[in-house]
C-alpha cells in the first residue's frame, strides 16, 4: 500500500497552512477593512499556483472543501452578492483546464475517450440539469433558481479531475489526513472553550463561525456543546477508509508499522464524528460498520475481523473518553452532571427541532413530487411545511407553521423534486460509472474509498451532500484514486 505512505514533513506543513488560513479568515471577519485585500491576495495566490500546475489547483480545491464547509472561509461582496473563495477556486481551475486543453488537445481527448462511459452519463445528467434550470425559470424566482442550482455547477470540475496526475496521489492522501487532523484539533479546541465558558472569546468564535457559515455551535445540555461543521462529513468518510485499510493489513499480513498511525487517524475521525453530534452521521456510521464487517466475514477472515472490531472498540472508547475529558477538564472549574448525553440524543429524533423538521418535510415533499414525478419541477421549487427550527420559529409561530423553502434536508427527495425520477436515475448511473472504474483498479485504497463513499450515499438520506460540492468532491476523489494518467 505504497500509495498511502504518510509524509510527516508534508503533513505538518499542510496543518500549518490550514492554521494560517483560519487565522487569516478570522482576521478578515474581525477587521472588515482588510477583507478585500486579503481576499484578493488569496485568490491571486490560488491563480498563480494553479496556473503553474493544474494538479495543485485540484489539491487546493480538496483542502478548501475539507475545512471550508459552505465555502465562505474567505469571501467578498460584489454587486450586492457574497462571492466565496470556493467560487473563485472553481473558476480558476476551469480557466487553467481550458488553457491546458487547448495546449494539449490530442492527449486530453485521448484521456477522455478512455473515460467515455463516465462522460456519456455526465452529459446526459447535464441535459437534465439544464432542463431543470429552464423549467424553474418558467415558474420560480430567478434568485432562488441560481442559489438552488449553484452547487451542481461544481460537477464541471469532472473535466480537470479526469486529468489528475497519479504522481500527486500521495499528496492528495497526505492532504486528506492533514485536513482531518486539523478538523480534530479545531473542533476539540472549540468544544473546550465553549464547555469552559470563555465568554468573550466564544462570542467572537461563534459570530465568525456563523457569519462565514463555517459550522454550527449549539448548547446540548450540561456543559456539552454540539460543534458541527458541514465538512465533518469527511471525518466519517476517512474513518471508513481507514477501517478497510486496517483490515487489509491484518488480512494480508502486511507490515504492522502502519497499524498505529491508522489507529491514530481513526481516533481523530471518531472524535470528530462524535463531537459533531449529528444523528445523520451516527446512522451512516452504524450502517457502514455493519456493511464492512459483513464484507470482512464474507471474505472468510473471521479472526482478522474480530481483531479489527476490537481495535475499533478501543479507539471508539478512547474517542468518547476524550470528549468527556475535554468537557470536564478541571481548569477553569466547570459543573457538568450530564453523562448520558449521547444516549439521550438517540432516544427520540422527533423530540428535537432538526429531527422534527425532517419528518415534517417528508409528506409535503412527496406531494410536491407527485405533480411532476418523472421530469421534476425545476430548480427553485418551493415546498411549504411546518418548521421547528428555532431560527425560523423566532420569526413568528405562524411563519414557522407555513414555512416555504427550496432547500431540504432529505437529499434524495430534494433531487427528485428538482430534476425528476429520470434525472435522479441518471445521476445514479453517473455515480455507478465512477465507482465501476474505481473498483476495476483493484487497489486497496480504491476499494477503501468506494466503501467510504457509501457513507455519503447513506448520509444523503437525511442531510444533502450529493447536490453539494462536499459530496461531489468525494466523487472526484474516486476518480483520482483510479487515474492512470502520468505526465511524461
Per-residue confidence at 4, pLDDT binned at 50, 70, 90?
A: low
pTM, to two decimals? 0.95
* Other residues' Cβ atoms within 10 Å of the Cβ of residue 110: 11
Q: Write out pLDDT tens, residues 255-303.
A: 888 999 999 999 999 999 999 999 999 999 999 999 999 999 999 888 8
- Indicate if the pLDDT at residue 1 is higher than 90: no
End-to-end CA distance of the chain: 24
Per-residue confidence at 338, pLDDT binned at 50, 70, 90?
A: very low
For 324-339, give the DSSP string: HHHHH-SSS-------
CA 295, chain centre distance (Å): 25
CB 383 within 8 A of CB 361: yes
* Integer Cα distance of 103 and 417 in angstroms: 41
For 155-224, give the DSSP string: GGGHHHHTT--GGGHHHHHHHHHHHHHHHHHHHHHHHHHHHTT-HHHHHHHHHHHHHTT--EEEEEETTE
Residue 380's pLDDT is what?
A: 97
* Integer Cα distance of 40 and 210 in angstroms: 22
Choose the weakest-confidence range: 4-18, 278-292, 350-364. Answer: 350-364
* Integer Cα distance of 45 and 473 in angstroms: 22
CA distances 227 to 112, 191, 212, Å, are 42, 7, 15
In the numeric block, which cell numbers belong to residue 66?
475539507
Count of alpha carbons within 13 angstroms of residue 311, beta-carbon side: 25
* Integer Cα distance of 267 and 139 in angstroms: 49
**Helix (H) and strand (E) counts in the chain:** 21, 6
Which residue ranges make up each domain of the chain? 208-347
Q: Write out pLDDT tens, residues 18-28.
A: 999 999 999 99
Q: Which of 70, 231, 230, 66 is CA-nearest to residue 150?
A: 70
Radius of gyration of the chain (CA): 22
CB 400 within 8 A of CB 392: yes
Residue 335's pLDDT is what?
A: 59
Residue 300's pLDDT is what?
A: 85
Average pLDDT of 438-462?
Answer: 94
DSSP 140: S
DSSP 488: -
Choose the weakest-confidence range: 182-191, 294-303, 384-393. Answer: 384-393
Amino acid at each position: 500500500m505504497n500509495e498511502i505512505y504518510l509524509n510527516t514533513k508534508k503533513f505538518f506543513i499542510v496543518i500549518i497552512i490550514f492554521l494560517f488560513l483560519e487565522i487569516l479568515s478570522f482576521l478578515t471577519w474581525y477587521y472588515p477593512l482588510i477583507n478585500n485585500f486579503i481576499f484578493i491576495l488569496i485568490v491571486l495566490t490560488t491563480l498563480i499556483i494553479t496556473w503553474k500546475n493544474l494538479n495543485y489547483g485540484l489539491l487546493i480545491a480538496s483542502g478548501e472543501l475539507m475545512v471550508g464547509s459552505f465555502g465562505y472561509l474567505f469571501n467578498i461582496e460584489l454587486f450586492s452578492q457574497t462571492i466565496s473563495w470556493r467560487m473563485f477556486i472553481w473558476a480558476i481551475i476551469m480557466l487553467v483546464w481550458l488553457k491546458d486543453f487547448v495546449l494539449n488537445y490530442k492527449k486530453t481527448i485521448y484521456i477522455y475517450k478512455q473515460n467515455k462511459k463516465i462522460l456519456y452519463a455526465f452529459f446526459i445528467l447535464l441535459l437534465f440539469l439544464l432542463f431543470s434550470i429552464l423549467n424553474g425559470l418558467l415558474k420560480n424566482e430567478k434568485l432562488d433558481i441560481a442559489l438552488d442550482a449553484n452547487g451542481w455547477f461544481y460537477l464541471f470540475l469532472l473535466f480537470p479531475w479526469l486529468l489528475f496526475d497519479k504522481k500527486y496521489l500521495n499528496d492528495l492522501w497526505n492532504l486528506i489526513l492533514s485536513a482531518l487532523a486539523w478538523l480534530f484539533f479545531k473542533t476539540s479546541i472549540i468544544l473546550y472553550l465553549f464547555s469552559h465558558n470563555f465568554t468573550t472569546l466564544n462570542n467572537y468564535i461563534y459570530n465568525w463561525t456563523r457569519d462565514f457559515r463555517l459550522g454550527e455551535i449549539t448548547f446540548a445540555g450540561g456543559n456539552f456543546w454540539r460543534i458541527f461543521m458541514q465538512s465533518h462529513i469527511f471525518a466519517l468518510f476517512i474513518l471508513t477508509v481507514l477501517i478497510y485499510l486496517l483490515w487489509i493489513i491484518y488480512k494480508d499480513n502486511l507490515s504492522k508499522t502502519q497499524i498505529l498511525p491508522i489507529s491514530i487517524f481513526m481516533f481523530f475521525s471518531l472524535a470528530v464524528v462524535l463531537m459533531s453530534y449529528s444523528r445523520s452521521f451516527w446512522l451512516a456510521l452504524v450502517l457502514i460498520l455493519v456493511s464492512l464487517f459483513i464484507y470482512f466475514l464474507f471474505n472468510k477472515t473471521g479472526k482478522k475481523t474480530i481483531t479489527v472490531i476490537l481495535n475499533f472498540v478501543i479507539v471508539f472508547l478512547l474517542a468518547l473518553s476524550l470528549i468527556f475529558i475535554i468537557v470536564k477538564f478541571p481548569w477553569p472549574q466547570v459543573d457538568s452532571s450530564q453523562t448520558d448525553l449521547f444516549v439521550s440524543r438517540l432516544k427520540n429524533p422527533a423530540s428535537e427541532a432538526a429531527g422534527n423538521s425532517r419528518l415534517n418535510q417528508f409528506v409535503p415533499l412527496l406531494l410536491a413530487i407527485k405533480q411532476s414525478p418523472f421530469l421534476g419541477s425545476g430548480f427553485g421549487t418551493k415546498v411549504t411545511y411546518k418548521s421547528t427550527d428555532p431560527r425560523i420559529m423566532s420569526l413568528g409561530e405562524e411563519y414557522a407553521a407555513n414555512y416555504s423553502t427550496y432547500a431540504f434536508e432529505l437529499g434524495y427527495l430534494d433531487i427528485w423534486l428538482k430534476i425528476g425520477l429520470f434525472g435522479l436515475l441518471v445521476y445514479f448511473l453517473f455515480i455507478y460509472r465512477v465507482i465501476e472504474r474505481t473498483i476495476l483498479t483493484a487497489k486497496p485504497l480504491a476499494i477503501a474509498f468506494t466503501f467510504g463513499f457509501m457513507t455519503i450515499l447513506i448520509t444523503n438520506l437525511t442531510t444533502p451532500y450529493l447536490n453539494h460540492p462536499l459530496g461531489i468532491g468525494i466523487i472526484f476523489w474516486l476518480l483520482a484514486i483510479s487515474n492512470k494518467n502520468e505526465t511524461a
